[in-house]
Structure 1
């Protein structure tokens, strides 16, 4: 954390410190007692460097919060409890940063400044300090215009938000986005966080309307519906996340003039009612260019609680990263999925199928470029797997922007098919042929870079090694997105 300066002690220990901001006015604040980070000293006061902050015993006597207007006291108190567990100045600084980060995550405040000073008053202790947070709450209504990035698609998003409506982090948001591939999306969400338990919980209820074009399969999709999502983070420091979702929507598939018959026969409106659970453990040190750590993500979806669509869908996403000699980073990724109908009275639509191929999926193949096809239209499958081994290395001569651009080499393989096409009689061992028959494989190299710390961009030259005659191949690919194989 660097060198921290403190006041020269006189009769009693007096520590003044600041984490980014002026010394607050202590006349109008909420005070919480045991039983403040702006790090600065008074101008002209003699200073000395303190190198071992762990030797300075510290006790937090009081915590002040200045600037609360709409935000309720109980929400703030629940975030400050960790401060009273600090036993030395080093621990106090770390806990103050953590509390400040948690206060920012409430979605209630625009600016948060912190000041730490020696405790004063009749109830102060010799080693006591007072921590003061000066906050500035968000406006009641705010809006923005920005760009967003999806899988190989950019979009312009207009959004408006009413934050901290009832003083406990509740907010109402409305978004409209228009994509480069004629897709548009309207979403209105009500968000309610819960801070009164050991697990961090956020409940989101959304109504949406979307329209998307899938020329690789020859259809357009429009759907309207609502989604309820409960996100649960197991502990404030845990990397384990659960998402419990319920989705109900009306979907309408419209075929293009060039669509195959198998696509046309699935056109029309359908009603989907499904429950979904997403379990993830993300211990990577970064999302786009991780150098170490692993990711485990398991998604289970059950449709058929109403409507005319019914299936059980499971997806697995694994990734692990390790760095050798500070210059070479290896990344191993694996994805798989399994889709199965649950009733003869309920059907599976082409919208629900798995698709494989693309610049951030199985490279060397066009978007949705492998698997079952008919008359140039990709039909998708109900079982797939894909694996990739990547090697990243910095640019030669290490320019100033080398941290955002890396040389990239890879080899990936995978397969996509339908269980009905693989089954022979009642011999379900034939399903294992997905790992041995008609496996696709390619290798290549290129440049990978981070775009605005929100998306990954790749420009690759690829050589397909194993492929089928019906696959759509490519040797040069440009991809942009967030999730990748």
Structure 2
């Protein structure tokens, strides 16, 4: 297929024919000497995109042709714009990145009407290879505090517009079964703006609270990656939740929240990641991260039978040390730290801000403690407990400081590190919350009780020392997950919390 992109040039997409033989490559010095030479694009041809729609490619190459129609366009301008166009092609994730080849030659045909006659007219030919449209995979995956085995099928470029359909089934150490299907597509041909639709069903055991949670629902998600690397994600989620399979010893708090609930919410996630992770994505030793998550459920038109506003913020960073001792070379020693905070504010359903609000459910409250956040405590061992059940809290703060040291003889390039750490946190429940009877509902709260309760909970975070632990361990930063084997010693433990003295194994992708 071939057609003109504008009156000042053309874009040709040829599916099967090989690119024309390129002229001999000019030496680098010759290219540099001609960066300021006035040029105009006569044509742009793409070869190898046999399953890709022309309309998608127009979003990449029409701006290139249009911007190159200016009389003051130079060869350097064209090279810079071609680089941007090729980066866009790569971000569609339907072409092999190492297959993209660009050939530039002087136009062989007579210039089209509208091109400048006092400049050099160029033909650009781009060769690509598409990735396999169907990919089947199986293996193991690691998330925070859980490992799983999965099978996955991915179909790329379904309709020729860089659409993707991913179907996944998994079972894990906590998640008994999980199934989800996600369809995503670029919006208006922009690889950095994608719209996704997901359906899911899962069943997860939560032994720290003597129950199992089953989820059935879906979400609609719009994700955007800015030019400076910041990412935004806006999502609507509707989920039917079942809290079931209660243990015989489950507490009254868990029994009160058992049964069905429907959550309808919108959420926004912002991430600014300035960590240097070029060597190993799981071993950042320089830079910082800022992430915020905000969720609004059940209020206004969202409906559902739970209503709240929930916000979290995470800040972390690391700096290398002792580089100068080795003549400025990396020593492999770094000092890092992190801080996380969150608050859950109950709201009345409907459009009122002053009506009665139900206290938060165990499904929605924060949990804290374990080998991937506050080490030295059992999984969800911090915060309020009812008997042996960790029932979560509405306000929390947690922080850590650590030092990573390379192993003797391993060197700074090794993914192995010795870790020295101290961490701590507080998880507090909303004050003035109505008490639950045996299997009965909790009492509703008026707006003043909610404000006073949240204020008291926030003040309690600074009341006395937080739960603290320190330790030493071994870190292995695999490119897909981080493994930690730590010996932890709890230093401060509050009444009712569950500490973990001794060895503790952590596997995950996001550690405090």
Instruction: Return the TM-score normalized by structure 2.
Output: 0.78
Alignment match, 2:318: 321
Alignment match, 2:305: 308
**Residue range with higher mean Cα deviation, 157-166 or 352-361:** 157-166
Q: CA deviation at 1:266?
A: 1.2
Equivalent in 472, 477, 487 of residue 445 of structure 1: 472
**Matches of 2:491 and 2:166 in 1, distance apart?**
48
Is the aligned partner of 1:332 residue 2:313? Answer: no
The answer to whether the Cα contact below 8 Å between 1:313 and 1:338 also exists between their aligned partners in 2 is: yes
Superposition map of 1:121-200 within 5 A:
121-123=108-110, 130-196=123-189, 200=192
The answer to whether the Cα contact below 8 Å between 1:407 and 1:446 also exists between their aligned partners in 2 is: yes
Alignment match, 1:411: 422
For 2:58, what is the secondary structure of its paired residue? Answer: helix
**Matches of 1:56 and 1:362 in 2, distance apart?**
59
For 2:381, what is the secondary structure of its paired residue? Answer: coil
Q: CA deviation at 1:456?
A: 1.2
**Matches of 1:261 and 1:189 in 2, distance apart?**
38
The answer to whether the Cα contact below 8 Å between 2:262 and 2:306 also exists between their aligned partners in 1 is: yes
Is the aligned partner of 1:342 residue 2:347? Answer: yes
Alignment match, 1:205: 197
**Matches of 1:431 and 1:335 in 2, distance apart?**
14
The answer to whether the Cα contact below 8 Å between 1:54 and 1:88 also exists between their aligned partners in 2 is: no
Is the aligned partner of 1:250 residue 2:240? Answer: yes
Distance 1:437 1:123, change over 3 A: farther
Q: CA deviation at 1:417?
A: 0.9
**Residue range with higher mean Cα deviation, 240-249 or 95-104:** 95-104
Distance 1:55 1:464, change over 3 A: farther
Distance 1:425 1:248, change over 3 A: closer
Alignment match, 2:497: 471
**Matches of 2:188 and 2:131 in 1, distance apart?**
19
Q: Which structure has the highest strand share of the two?
A: 1
The answer to whether the Cα contact below 8 Å between 2:91 and 2:192 also exists between their aligned partners in 1 is: no
Q: CA deviation at 1:288?
A: 2.1
**Matches of 2:432 and 2:304 in 1, distance apart?**
27
Alignment match, 1:269: 260
**Matches of 1:392 and 1:99 in 2, distance apart?**
40
Higher RCO structure (Cα 8 Å, ≥6 apart): 2
For 1:277, what is the secondary structure of its paired residue? Answer: strand
Q: Between Structure 1 and Structure 2, how many residues are aligned?
A: 446
Alignment match, 1:381: 393
Q: CA deviation at 1:313?
A: 0.6
For 1:353, what is the secondary structure of its paired residue? Answer: coil
**Residue range with higher mean Cα deviation, 261-270 or 464-473:** 464-473
Q: CA deviation at 1:126?
A: 7.3
1:143-195 deviation line (CA, Å, top 9, x unaligned):
22232211122212212233212221122221111113352210112212124
Distance 1:437 1:69, change over 3 A: same
Distance 1:55 1:366, change over 3 A: farther
Equivalent in 387, 403, 417 of residue 391 of structure 1: 403
Superposition map of 1:17-36 within 5 A:
35=9
Q: CA deviation at 1:395?
A: 2.5
**Matches of 2:222 and 2:56 in 1, distance apart?**
19
Is the aligned partner of 1:226 residue 2:238? Answer: no
1:353-387 deviation line (CA, Å, top 9, x unaligned):
10111111001111101111122111110000011
Q: CA deviation at 1:30?
A: 7.9
**Matches of 2:267 and 2:289 in 1, distance apart?**
19
Alignment match, 2:439: none
Is the aligned partner of 1:460 residue 2:486? Answer: yes
**Matches of 1:407 and 1:375 in 2, distance apart?**
37
Is the aligned partner of 1:105 residue 2:91? Answer: yes
1:29-75 deviation line (CA, Å, top 9, x unaligned):
8887875xxxxx999x8x99747964442657343210222312232
**Matches of 2:174 and 2:361 in 1, distance apart?**
22
Alignment match, 1:67: 48
Alignment match, 1:290: 284
**Residue range with higher mean Cα deviation, 110-119 or 326-335:** 110-119
Q: Gaps (5+ residues) in structure 2?
A: 10-20, 112-117, 324-329, 349-355, 434-448
For 1:121, what is the secondary structure of its paired residue? Answer: coil
Q: CA deviation at 1:442?
A: 1.6
Q: Gaps (5+ residues) in structure 1?
A: 1-27, 36-40
Alignment match, 1:115: 102
For 1:265, what is the secondary structure of its paired residue? Answer: helix
Instruction: Return the TM-score normalized by structure 1.
Output: 0.82
